[in-house]
Chains A and B, each alone.
Chain A
Amino acid sequence: EAAVTQSPRNKVTVTGGNVTLSCRQTNSHNYMYWYRQDTGHGLRLIHYSYGAGNLQIGDVPDGYKATRTTQEDFFLLLELASPSQTSLYFCASSDGTGGGQNTLYFGAGTRLSVL
């Protein structure tokens, strides 16, 4: 089972604050993803990446930056946090190779509250 570790698990910040969410995967997967989960919306894709230095825009990117510094590490940055960004954030990784298999493996999630 692929290992994906998110930190912190919980975070509280104020409106206008800066927040960085971290994700590390230890299985040399090519693809990494950031999702947010809100009641009634399922998981919505913020950003994703297929390798160090690469960034692809997801479906709800406004207000978020992301950076893939290494094969293992993918960061989500909220530079001016707003209450609308209060959510449960998930990171995931996938191999993305081997005949097209693209099973996602998820971290435990980070619960962010913006007051």
Chain B
Amino acid sequence: GQQVQQSPASLVLQEGENAELQCNFSSTATRLQWFYQHPGGRLVSLFYNPSGTKHTGRLTSTTVTNERRGSLHISSSQTTDSGTYFCAIDQTGGYKVVFGSGTRLL
């Protein structure tokens, strides 16, 4: 089945620093999305990004499908960015959505 690897597993930043979160997956026929989990547990969608680059605020999602990788860039980090970030993939034409193990950001 689909494999999703995220790195790093955890990351500690000083406020104002940038972060780059990585997501690698096992199939080229894949749609990628990013989620943020609040420290209290709530999960929210950040990006649905099958390919290319998308921006919202200080966040940038880049997906290079033929290289089976995606990244989430956080610029000028703030304490409110703390939490866990997940990438998830589903195969084009299918709807089984599989998650990586997450990156915990502090």
- How far in angstroms is the closest Cβ of chain A from B29? 12
Count of CB-CB pairs between chains A and B under 8 Å:
61
Interface footprint category on B: 20 to 34
Instruction: Scan A77-115; emit 1 where CB is below 8 A from any B CB, else 0.
Output: 000000000001010101010001111111011000000
Q: Does A48 contact B (CB under 8 A)?
A: yes
Contact B97 A102 (CB under 8 A): yes
Instruction: Scan B90-105; emit 1 where CB is below 8 A from any A CB, else 0.
Output: 1010011111111000
SS of B interface (majority) = strand
Mark A residues whose CB is within 8 Å of B: 31, 33, 35, 40-45, 48, 50, 56, 58-59, 88, 90, 92, 94, 96, 100-106, 108-109
